Amino acid sequence: MTDSGEQQVTADAATPEKSEASTGIKLRGLFLKKVGMTSIFGDAGEMIPVTVLKMDSWVVSQLKTDAKDGYTAVQIASGPKKAVRTSNAERGHLAKAGFENGAQFIREIRYDEAKDLSADLKVGSRISIDSLGKGDVVKITSTSKGKGFAGSIKRYHFAGGPASHGSKFHRQPGSSGNRTWPGRVMPGKKFPGHLGADTVTVNNVKVVDVLHDENVILVKGPVPGARNSLVKLVKE
């Protein structure tokens, strides 16, 4: 009896416990914050440049259906907001999701049909980082860095003229109009203007690793956006 009891205790102690990040509902995509870039070594010893993405706590705040909203999606929320910055409408909308006030981030993950949603999905469910796994190929969407007003050389990567030998248009956009007919500047001409702060999507990005203990996902290569910007990952 004693021996069997000791064996039972040993077996229970050896059973690994799931981390808090691994428990929850799996979706076809996640929202994470960009931490920065580093490099790791692969199984063959090759160096792989990766972007570190950290996941905060996300919960389901609304289930949108085609019959009621015109499309199917899962609305998720993260980060408590101060009471003074929360409207009554937002407070009432997120009450069932467990928020005392509003949320800093409210985002959606679209689905093609309601049958693709998990049967366990309900308002207040926590999102699991296991929604994405090692080796998955994802589509990444983020907001690029804003760089303010820029000239056409920097904005559109024009070559410009030679620095010497009298080109006389070193960093200028060049001719912008037409002849007598049509006698105007055509729409879409590449002129100086605001650079960056655009929504950028990168396809076919590989998930290199998922670190459950740190709520971190490593993806191969660079990711658009500055540090702490919100990045959307969706399985392709």
Distance between CA 135 and CA 141 in Å, rounded? Answer: 19
Q: Say whether pLDDT at 11 is over 50.
A: no
Q: Say whether pLDDT at 186 is over 70.
A: yes
Residue ending a domain, among 74, 106, 125, is 125
Give residue 90's pLDDT band: very low, low, confident or very high (50, 70, 90). very high
Sign for the CA dihedral angle at 203, 208, 212, 217 comes to negative
Domain residues for the domain of 110 are 58-125
Q: How do 137-143 and 103-111 pair as beta strands? A: unpaired
Q: Write out pLDDT tens, residues 114-135.
A: 777 877 889 999 999 999 999 9
Distance between CA 141 and CA 231 in Å, rounded? Answer: 6
Residues 206 and 101 in one domain: no
Residue 228's region, left for phi above 0, alpha for psi from -120 to 50, else beta, is left
Q: Say whether pLDDT at 21 is over 70.
A: no
Residues 39 and 156 in one domain: yes
Q: Say whether pLDDT at 84 is over 90.
A: yes
Q: What is the pLDDT of residue 118?
A: 77
Residues 120 and 216 in one domain: no
Q: Say whether pLDDT at 77 is over 50.
A: yes
Residues 206 and 136 in one domain: yes
Residues 105 and 119 in one domain: yes
Q: Write out pLDDT tens, residues 46-72.
A: 999 999 999 999 999 999 999 899 999
Give residue 14's pLDDT band: very low, low, confident or very high (50, 70, 90). very low
Kindly provide the residue ranges of all beta strands, DSSP E only, lying in the chain, ordered along the sequence: 29-41, 47-54, 58-64, 72-80, 103-111, 137-143, 148-150, 193-195, 199-211, 216-220, 230-235
